[in-house]
Amino acid sequence: MAINDLSALILVAGKSTRMKSEMRVAYWAHQAEVAEFGEPGGMMDHYSTTIGGLLYISFADETIVESLTTRMRTFVLGDSGQSKDTKFILSHVKENVFSAIKKIKSADNRFDLIQ
């Protein structure tokens, strides 16, 4: 089944089912991009474009997406003009997280990030 086929099914689904289906499509789109490029990548674009509208998105412990209601009638998109090396930034953050985990574990070997 193609993404467009899934999108059509999402449109005819009920509201709660639709959000769950859209989140699944966004997840698959992210996984496909990461697999295709063989590089880390963020998920924000996939969720925001698949679900649409004004959203609150959190990827902390689990993926949470909430549609926000608003009376906005216009959309403003800003571009800082600043380039960024996303691959470097993600790699740098990952290295720092692993380094911090290693330091904490050396101080207390009972430490487990998953718990």
**Residue 1 — pLDDT band, cuts 50, 70, 90?**
very low
Q: 26-51: string of b/e by CB count within 10 Å (b at 16+)? A: beebbeeeeeeeeeebebeebbeebb
As a whole number, the mean pLDDT across the chain is 78
Domain annotation covers residue 115: no
Total tally of structural domains belonging to the chain: 1
Rg (CA), the chain: 18
Domain annotation covers residue 41: yes
Q: What is the pLDDT of residue 93?
A: 82
Q: What is the pLDDT of residue 68?
A: 86
Residues spanned by the domain of 85: 3-107
**Residue 107 — pLDDT band, cuts 50, 70, 90?**
very high
Domain annotation covers residue 114: no
Six token digits for residue 99? 């380094």
Rounded mean pLDDT, 25-54: 82
Domain annotation covers residue 93: yes
Domain annotation covers residue 113: no
Domain annotation covers residue 112: no
Domain annotation covers residue 46: yes
